[in-house]
A and B are shown apart, each in its own frame.
Chain A
Amino acid sequence: MTNLRLAWRKSLNGVMLTLTGVAAFGVVAVLFVILGFLIWNGGTSLNLAFFTQLPRGEGEIGGGMANAIVGSLKLLFLAAVIGLPIGLLAGVYLAEFGGKTFAFVTRYTTDLLNGAPSIVIGLFAFSIAVLPVKHFSVLAGGIALGVMVIPITVRSTEEFLRAIPNSLREGAMALGANKWKTIATVIIPAASGGIITGMLLSLARVAGETAPLIFTALNNQYWSPGLSQPSASLPVMIYIYALAPYDDWHRQAWAAGLVLLALVLTANISCRLILNRKGSSRSV
């Protein structure tokens, strides 16, 4: 009787522990399946025209996504200009000045903003940057992405500033520097590696965002000069091309997917390796 029970417990142990391993490796396998499909389908579709030519009309074969690549870069630049300064300084406030209640409220709101669905942030950008001027623009798209950059930058900046030992602050103050000089010339430079990596990670995250762009930056078949016109972007092009009924557009959607994924993963891998080497095991 007891032997039977022991055998049952032991086999249950073996089966369940094996299943947990299968689950872990199964999930990791998904990553490689995704990579495999994109490299296979995207790699065979990539060509020089993809990087140098404008999109062709509906159903026409050939053409590329040069304007979407430039558009994505422009959107990222705007997101950086709008989001990074707010994120950085708010992070400095939380780590160095923050009082009790206000800092708590800010931190909490930042987390909630971080969890807000990206499509809702698109609605927000539409309300403040498209409706008043009555046309879609790359600026509106940049605002949407910029808002998404803020919470990630705030939390990573705060974390890296907090990791700087207090002895550095005390040392600087003992030499006669006041607080802001200590922060600007000692603390931030000491944490700069981590802070910049965190910023790059936040940009990598919004680089693939589609939902906030489809009714802010919209799309454009041509180049989009300046800030006030609609612009193509890689994620939106993937969305539109994948749903279109043309084989050649599907081919280009795969190519764009490969380019986008390569960018996002390269940024992620290099940032995370740098962070790990700095001894911070926490993922941003």
Chain B
Amino acid sequence: MSTATSAIDHAAPPESGPRAFLRRMRGGDEVAHLITLVFAATILLITSIMVYELWVRSSLTRSKFGFAFFFSSVWDPVAEQFGAAPFIYGTLVTSLLALAIAVPLGLAAAIFLAELAPRKLSDIIAFLIDLLAAVPSVIYGLLGIFIIVPVMRTVIGPFLKASFSHIPLIGSLFQGPNYGVGFLTASIVLAIMIVPFIISVSREVLLTVPRDQREAALSLGATRWEATWKVVVPWARTGVLGSVFLALARALGETMAVTMVIGNTPKIAASLFSPGYSIAAVIANEFAEASGDAHRSALMELGLVLFLITFILNGFARLLIVATERGGGRPS
């Protein structure tokens, strides 16, 4: 098709009906539109098939156990008894504890990068932090096993035990034998892994806060910290919250690093030193050798739960971030 004819196509007044459609097909535009549309639709298709497969392949345990699946703590593939409570507990504890460590650290670093550091230094540090986010999770697992677990067993664990175990209430978190692997170790590794996400998203959100907000606070006599903490951060809080949800979604779904340091014991224990298990870890460990249909179905159902939770968290996080970057996050 030569360019001359297509130019004529464009010059002609818009017609309707099948003949015009055919002519535009010959020009190629409609074909290109259609092809790219099909590929875009492929993404929707893949996502739908994913949900469908997880739903159908978990039907066995869904119909057999119903909601009791989430509350039972018996996990016995041989007797075909499946309860997900220990895995859900482990996933929630490690993710929330990781957030408790990573959010203050990440927010502080993001404040430094957005508010204090000169632009050049800020860019270099942000670059290095992006690299940290690119480190594969199995590498974190490797370092976890050989570096963090021994340090936990010999230094951090005994220290925490000596300082907190005799305090009532808090003390129960630090009871029991300390093997090095367990909830606390998994949380620390997770915290290191999600901190880069919190920093880079929060930094970008903080940088969108208008300059006059800072200047107004400073001109009223606020110190630099007060201007940041009482004006800039509240302005950006929706977006920062978005980064936290994004990080939480990452933490919940993180597999390898957690699998390698959590201890892989399906048990619910108050002590943070106790070995535990997480949803992603049990899928990683048991799926390839799943003993039967029921076992496989139970693991698929865990995958479905994980998928839906991260789906909701991610959607929510993106809405919050978009809302702030469009300037909707002003303090009310």
Binding site for B on A (CB under 8 A): 9-10, 12-13, 16-17, 19-28, 30-31, 34, 37-38, 41, 85-86, 89-90, 92-94, 96-98, 102-103, 105-106, 108-121, 123-124, 126-128, 136, 147, 150-151, 154, 173, 175-181, 183-184, 204-205, 207-211, 214-215, 218, 235, 238-239, 242-243, 250, 253-254, 257, 260-261, 264-265, 268-269, 272, 276, 281, 283
Contacts and interface: CB of A to CB of B under 8 A. Distances in A.
Contacts of B54: 120, 123-124, 127
Contacts of A12: 223, 225
Closest 3 CB pairs of A and B: A208-B136, A117-B253, A180-B32
Contact of B287 (A98, A103, A126, A243): A126
Contacts of A205: 134
B145 to A, nearest CB: 6
Contacts of B256: 210-211, 235, 239
B43 interface: yes
A21 B131 contact: no
Contact of B223 (A13, A120, A181): A13
A34 B260 CA distance: 17
Nearest to B53: A127
Nearest to B290: A215
Nearest to A42: B142
Contact of A119 (B115, B246, B284): B284
B308 to A, nearest CB: 10
Given A120-B307, A272-B127, A34 B139 contact: yes
A97 B33 contact: yes
B96 interface: no
B324 to A, nearest CB: 16
Contacts of B71: none
B225 A13 contact: yes
B161 interface: no
Contact of B136 (A27, A108, A261, A283): A261
A26 B260 CA distance: 24
Contact of B129 (A28, A121, A180): A28
Contact of A176 (B7, B28, B129, B314): B7
B320 interface: no
Contacts of A207: 136
Interface in B271-301: 280, 283-284, 287-288, 299-300
Given A31-B128, A260-B139, A180 B28 contact: yes
Given A177-B6, A178-B28, A124 B33 contact: no
Contacts of A19: 108
Interface string B104-143: 1110110111011100000101111111101111110111
Contacts of B249: 115
A268 B137 CA distance: 15
Contacts of A111: 314-315, 318
B311 A210 contact: no
B306 A117 contact: yes
A113 B43 contact: yes
A109 B116 contact: no
Contacts of B171: none
Interface stretch (B14-22, B79-87, B152-160, B194-202): B194-202
A28 B31 contact: no
Contacts of A22: 108
B87 to A, nearest CB: 12
Given A119-B253, A268-B131, A181 B37 contact: no
Contacts of A261: 135-136, 139
A238 B259 CA distance: 13
A155 B49 CA distance: 21
A260 B300 CA distance: 30
Contact of B225 (A17, A41, A183): A17
Contact of B288 (A115, A175, A184, A215): A215
Nearest to B313: A115
Given A239-B141, A239-B256, 10 more contacts: A89-B39, A112-B314, A116-B310, A119-B255, A126-B287, A180-B29, A208-B135, A214-B288, A218-B288, A242-B260
A242 B255 contact: no
A21 B139 CA distance: 27
A93 B280 CA distance: 34
Nearest to B8: A176
Nearest to B145: A242
A194 to B, nearest CB: 16
A116 B307 contact: yes
A210 B53 contact: no
A9 B226 CA distance: 9
B224 interface: yes
A178 B9 contact: yes
B211 interface: no
B32 A23 contact: no
A97 B37 contact: yes
A210 B27 CA distance: 46
B35 to A, nearest CB: 7
Interface centre among A12, A121, A124, A268 (most CB of B within 10 A): A124
Contact of B46 (A113, A204, A276, A281): A113
A30 B125 CA distance: 12
Interface string B52-71: 01100100000000000000
Given A24-B125, A268-B134, A105 B44 contact: yes
Nearest to A143: B46
27 contacts: A20-B111, A20-B112, A23-B109, A24-B108, A26-B105, A31-B132, A86-B39, A94-B40, A106-B44, A112-B47, A113-B46, A113-B47, A115-B249, A115-B311, A117-B255, A120-B54, A127-B57, A177-B3, A178-B27, A204-B134, A208-B137, A208-B139, A211-B280, A235-B138, A238-B139, A238-B141, A283-B200
